[in-house]
DNA sequence: CTACGATCTAGAGCGAGGTCTAGATCAAGC
DNA sequence: GCTTGATCTAGACCTCGCTCTAGATCGTAG
């Protein structure tokens, strides 16, 4: 890839915000916090230029955050990647641990869902019978 | 139910904390914030005594919180219940809206899960092939 | 009666995860 | 050259949801 091709593919912070769903504030915050793998390139004027690899990494960050990974873990993962090859086992462990947490979360949510669904059914049934049943007094 | 039976069934804040998983601090906080349906009864000495109905409500609160309902919504729900019969439609709406959010959350988590699973598979495969493949450089 | 642990109130403090502000600079269009 | 909008930095500020502290009181076991 030539320099001009790289420049053509690179994106401004605003464009990256659009593509990732993160705010420009959050993007700068993530960078300060060391959550990115490399330092973001700058134009001669000092503006950030994100490469497609940067964006790919950010999209993964978004997925990990969305699923509840704390910023600290994300930072740790970024550090491992920065260190380069040799620590793949640790990266794997980090991801797999998180996957287990996500599984637990899904299960917990499904339990909540069934409790809520049951309550919704109770109210629906009551309303379907109409106000005629004036004595019904839901405790909750 | 006689007064003494009610007393026998009632629980101290510590016992309720155990049964609900909330801390005693959180229980007092919830009360202050108006998240409970009624005022908690007190002993002559001023200690709280929770009824089984209080505990049942708290268990529902826990499920709703666990599934991401904000305290403000929980408070709103509690207010509706406090107002008594007549607003069941609104309660239903509140719960059903939340159920939809939970569904969306579960779906989002499942997407995250599949992204993570894929990444885990990539690393596993790499590690299974061993370090012989020295040129492999994961971008993330 | 004395300890000692549980509970009380009011209010301060905290950690996570951003968000926003001020004031300056950059870059593109007219 | 001038205007306008995007971006820059450093750092203050915010919301949420508790958590903790201090100092007093209650209540039970010995």
Interatomic CA distance for residues A75 and A55, integer angstroms: 16
Interatomic CA distance for residues B31 and B45, integer angstroms: 18
CATH number for the domain spanning A13: value is: 1.10.1660.10
Task: Report residue A6 as tokens.
Answer: 């790289």
For chain B, how many structural domains are there in total? 1
Give B71-103 pLDDT, tens digit per residue.
999 999 999 999 988 899 999 999 999 999 999
Residue A140 within a domain: no
Task: Report residue B106 as tokens.
Answer: 């579960």
> Are A72 and A107 in the same domain?
no
Taking contacts as CB-CB distances below 8 angstroms, the residues of chain B near A21 are: none
- Identify the bridge partners of residue B50 per DSSP, sorted by sequence position: B11
Taking contacts as CB-CB distances below 8 angstroms, the residues of chain A near B117 are: 99
Residue B137 within a domain: no
> Are A9 and A77 in the same domain?
yes
Residue B136 within a domain: no
Cβ atoms of B79 and B100 closer than 8 Å: no
Count of all residues that appear for chain B in the document: 140
Helices (H), B24-137: 24-32, 52-66, 71-83, 88-129
Distance from CA of B12 to the nearest CA of A (A): 21
Taking contacts as CB-CB distances below 8 angstroms, the residues of chain B near A123 are: 88, 91-92, 95
Query: B26 CA, D26 C1': separation in Å?
Result: 21
Residue B138 within a domain: no
Q: What is the pLDDT of residue A34?
A: 97
Q: Hey, are the CB atoms on A98 and B116 less than 8 Å from each other? A: yes
> Are A108 and A60 in the same domain?
no
Distance from CA of A140 to the nearest CA of B (A): 6
Q: What is the pLDDT of residue B5?
A: 60
> Are A16 and A75 in the same domain?
yes
> Are A17 and A51 in the same domain?
yes
- Answer whether any strand D atom is within 7 A of the Cβ of B42: no
> Are A33 and A80 in the same domain?
yes
Cβ atoms of A116 and B95 closer than 8 Å: yes
In window 46-65 of A, residues with CB < 7 A from nucleic chain D are: 46-48
Task: Report residue A135 as tokens.
Answer: 């004595």
Residue A122 within a domain: yes
Burial (CB count <10 Å: 0-12, 13-18, 19+), residue B48: buried
- Residue ranges making up the domain that contains A115: 87-129
Measured from the Cβ of residue B10, the count of other Cβ atoms closer than 10 Å reads 19
Q: What is the pLDDT of residue A92?
A: 96
Interatomic CA distance for residues A63 and B115, integer angstroms: 8
Q: Which residues have CB atoms below 7 Å from chain C, the nucleic strand?
A: A 23, 25-26, 28-29, 43-47, 65, 70-72; B 12-15, 17, 24, 28, 46-48
Residue A44 within a domain: yes
- Identify the bridge partners of residue A50 per DSSP, sorted by sequence position: A11
> Are A93 and A64 in the same domain?
no
Residues 109-128 of chain A with CB under 8 A from chain B are: 109-113, 115-117, 119-120, 123-124, 126-127
Whether A130 and chain B come into contact, CB under 8 Å, resolves to: no
DSSP assignment of A92-133: HHHHHHHHHHHHHHHHHHHHHHHHHHHHHHHHHHHHHH-TT-
Query: A13 CA, C17 C1': separation in Å?
Result: 20
Residue B7 within a domain: yes
Nearest to B48 by CA among B32, B64, B60: B32
Task: Report residue A89 as tokens.
Answer: 């086992």
Q: What is the pLDDT of residue A8?
A: 73
Q: pLDDT class for B127, splitting at 50, 70, 90?
A: confident
Q: Quick check: A137 pLDDT over 60?
A: no
> Are A7 and A62 in the same domain?
yes
Query: A30 CA, D19 C1': separation in Å?
Result: 27
Give B11-51 pLDDT, tens digit per residue.
999 999 999 999 999 999 999 999 999 999 999 999 999 99
Taking contacts as CB-CB distances below 8 angstroms, the residues of chain B near A97 are: none
> Are A58 and A106 in the same domain?
no
> Are A117 and A77 in the same domain?
no
């Amino acid at each position: 890839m030539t320099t001009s091709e790289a420049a053509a593919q690179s994106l401004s912070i605003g464009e990256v915000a659009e593509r990732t769903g993160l705010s420009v504030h959050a993007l700068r915050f993530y960078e300060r916090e060391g959550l990115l793998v490399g330092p973001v390139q700058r134009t001669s004027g000092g503006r950030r230029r994100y490469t497609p690899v940067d964006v790919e990494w950010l999209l993964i960050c978004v997925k990990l955050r969305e699923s509840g990974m704390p910023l600290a873990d994300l930072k740790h993962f970024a550090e491992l990647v920065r260190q380069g090859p040799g620590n793949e086992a640790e990266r794997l462990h980090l991801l797999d641990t998180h996957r287990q947490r996500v599984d637990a979360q899904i299960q917990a949510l499904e339990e909540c869902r069934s409790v809520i669904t049951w309550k919704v059914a109770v109210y629906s049934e009551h309303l379907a019978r109409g106000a005629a049943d004036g004595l019904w007094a839901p405790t909750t």
